[in-house]
Amino acid sequence: MNDRKYRQRGYQDDGGGREPADRPGQPRGDGAPRSVINRQHRPPNLPGFHDVMRCARCRRTLRSAIGPETTCPACGSALHTCAQCASFDSGSRFECLQPVKVRVFPKDARNECAHFAPRVTVERRTRSEAAAGPRSAKQAFEDLFK
């Protein structure tokens, strides 16, 4: 390696010398691979994940179950619709993943489909449960400097 101008290691090196201390995929001392995220033992203030139902039109979070006559509390649109269904897919035949005989139109109008199941997504919580309660702006500002 002394015949080169620069002393960085490269592809022509024989591999002698130091080995890298951390290799990706190698097990840690506790037996778990380095690439595995430990979701059970996280700090208490780190937000986790939760299941969310949202209105297909206004994207407001829905807290109650969706029935045949349910409407969105914010925009008033019907919630028992194809656009709100978990089987809705714009690239599928009749825009539905279920075996339906005819296309339901319009997709945002109330229908009586037997295959309806509300679309539930998994989202990251934006704040922890301890901080979810109402606080004043002054208290939140003072908490920054604790």
Asked if residue 22 belongs to a domain, the reply is: no
Q: Nearest-CA neighbor of 98 among 78, 113, 115, 75?
A: 115
pLDDT greater than 80 at residue 84: yes
Asked if residue 92 belongs to a domain, the reply is: yes
Q: Do residues 22 and 33 lie in contact, with contact meaning Cβ atoms separated by under 8 Å?
A: no
- Range in 21-25, 67-71, 77-81 with the lowest mean pLDDT: 21-25
13-29 pLDDT, tens digit per residue, is 665 555 555 555 555 55
Asked if residue 58 belongs to a domain, the reply is: yes
pLDDT at 41 (0 to 100): 64
Order of strands across the sheet that contains 49-54: 61-62, 49-54, 121-124
For the chain, give the percent of residues with pLDDT over 90.
0
pLDDT at 136 (0 to 100): 76
pLDDT greater than 60 at residue 127: yes
> Model's pTM, two decimal places?
0.51
Average pLDDT of the chain, as a whole number:
75
Asked if residue 95 belongs to a domain, the reply is: yes
Asked if residue 56 belongs to a domain, the reply is: yes
**In which domain, by residue range, is 77 found?**
48-124
Asked if residue 16 belongs to a domain, the reply is: no
Asked if residue 75 belongs to a domain, the reply is: yes
Q: How many domains does the chain have?
A: 1
Confidence label for 48 from pLDDT (cuts 50, 70 and 90): confident
Asked if residue 142 belongs to a domain, the reply is: no
